[in-house]
Structure 1
Amino acid sequence: MAQYFEVHPRNPQRRALNQAAGILRQDGLVVYPTDSCFALGCRVGNKDGLERIRAIRHLDQHHHFTLVCRNFSELGQLVTVNNTIFRAIKAATPGSYTFILPATKEVPRRLLHPRKKTVGVRIPDHVTAQALLDTLDEPLLSSTLLLPDQQEPMDDGWDIKQRLDRSVDAVIDSGDCGTEPTTVVDFSGDEAEIVRYGAGDPSLFE
């Protein structure tokens, strides 16, 4: 059964975050809130966690997973950016955006798009997500919690706990975080391409 951590939305309890981070370090799979919606997350090196996310969401091998980072410095270790892209992303983060970029050698090959060798990265503007990342002290491999039989992501932490009780190891709930996924901007080509319109203002990249 999944552990359930209900935390304060502006000052999440350190004890709960430490427990959740401990589960992640033991290669657990956790549901956590972000600035767009709830997400599934595990450590980047957790192969089993990756496959569990695929199974829960019925994802194929071409799905772009997202590496969720605390700050731009951490993000910069995972992807390559030129000065123009650097300025564009810097101006929009933290925020409800996912950026698709060429990956560095720090990213395991199994996480890359098989043809483009790219990966999604993002820096959430959410107190609990940032606190969890800070406690874990490393990025999270993540994917929006959108189940295959639903049109929108789940938005209630306790409902998620009941639905995925035997599929995940913990649920962190700090209240409503919306149901609109991130805006996805692909920087792997010659120009920025918005491949999904979502919670982040797309006009910054149009």
Structure 2
Amino acid sequence: MAQLVRIFEENPNEREIERVVQVLKQGGLIIYPTDTVYGLGCDITNTKAMEKVAKLKGVKLNKANFSFICHDLSNLSDYVKQIDTPTYKILKKSLPGPFTFILPSNTNLPKSFKGKKTVGIRIPDNNIIRELVKALGNPIVSTSIYDEDDLLEYTTDPELIFEKWQNNVDIVINGGYGGNIPSTVVDLSDGEVIVIREGKGDVDEL
């Protein structure tokens, strides 16, 4: 059964962060806060963990459109082809923030993503998840948790999230109430700005 771990965004406790990182390194699944909705994730380099996430979402791993959560823009070159200056300017202006950017991938993608031409990148404006990714040393896969039983499309109360998900994940991080508006998804993979989904991020500022 999952543990419910309280971490404060203003000052994430290093010991608690390390505890979550150890679970990720062992192939565990976590639910964590972002600057939008709570997310479900695992270490992107762990194929078994990735398969578990895909199963929970009811999709096949090779068909899943999961995004990566990175600590900052310096992580991008690990997985993304060289991008032009206008694209980089958009990323620099908008991140950290409530956007998912679809970018052309390079050949270094983890095994589970091999063959994908693009990759979704998230750098949330939330200290907890960014400190986790930094401590882990590589991105974590990200997909939002969907609650079919609720009128709200996304669950916002970490204690209710824990009640619902405790048998499916290893840790639920209580980082306070989450939002219920997902990130804005923008495709920049062809050098144009194509908005796929309007969410919390303001597209007029791109």
TM-score by length of 2: 0.91
Cα distance, 1:109–1:47 mapped onto 2, change above 3 Å: closer
Match 1:99 to one of 88, 98, 101: 101
Task: Name the residue aligned to 1:191.
Answer: 192
Alpha-carbon distance in 2 for matches of 1:53, 1:140? 12
CA deviations on 1:67-125 (whole Å, 9 max, x unpaired) are: 1100101123211211211111111111010011111112135326x6x6111011111
Task: Give the 3-state SS of the residue equivalent to 1:24 in structure 2.
Answer: helix
Alpha-carbon distance in 1 for matches of 2:112, 2:104? 14
Alpha-carbon distance in 2 for matches of 1:108, 1:8? 31
Alpha-carbon distance in 2 for matches of 1:146, 1:193? 25
Per-residue deviation, 1:190: 4.5
Consecutive unaligned residues of structure 1, counting only runs of 5 or more, are none
Alpha-carbon distance in 2 for matches of 1:110, 1:137? 18
CA deviations on 1:159-206 (whole Å, 9 max, x unpaired) are: 11111111111111110121111100011235110000011111133x
Q: Which amino acid aligns with 2:35?
A: D
Contact 2:45 2:111 in 1 (8 A): no
Per-residue deviation, 1:19: 0.5
Alpha-carbon distance in 2 for matches of 1:76, 1:11? 28
Q: Which amino acid aligns with 2:103?
A: L
Task: Name the residue aligned to 1:67.
Answer: 68
Task: Give the 3-state SS of the residue equivalent to 1:195 in structure 2.
Answer: strand
Task: Name the residue aligned to 2:174.
Answer: 173
Per-residue deviation, 1:16: 1.1
5 Å-filtered alignment, 1:126-205, equals 126-147=126-147, 152-205=153-206
Task: Name the residue aligned to 1:41.
Answer: 41
Q: Which amino acid aligns with 2:18?
A: N
Per-residue deviation, 1:59: 2.9
Contact 2:146 2:155 in 1 (8 A): yes
Q: Which amino acid aligns with 1:95?
A: G
Alpha-carbon distance in 1 for matches of 2:131, 2:45? 20
Alpha-carbon distance in 2 for matches of 1:21, 1:109? 21
Q: Which amino acid aligns with 2:90?
A: A
Cα distance, 1:145–1:41 mapped onto 2, change above 3 Å: same
Percent same amino acid among aligned pairs? Answer: 33
Task: Name the residue aligned to 1:90.
Answer: 92
Alpha-carbon distance in 2 for matches of 1:134, 1:174? 17
Q: Which amino acid aligns with 1:102?
A: P
TM-score by length of 1: 0.91
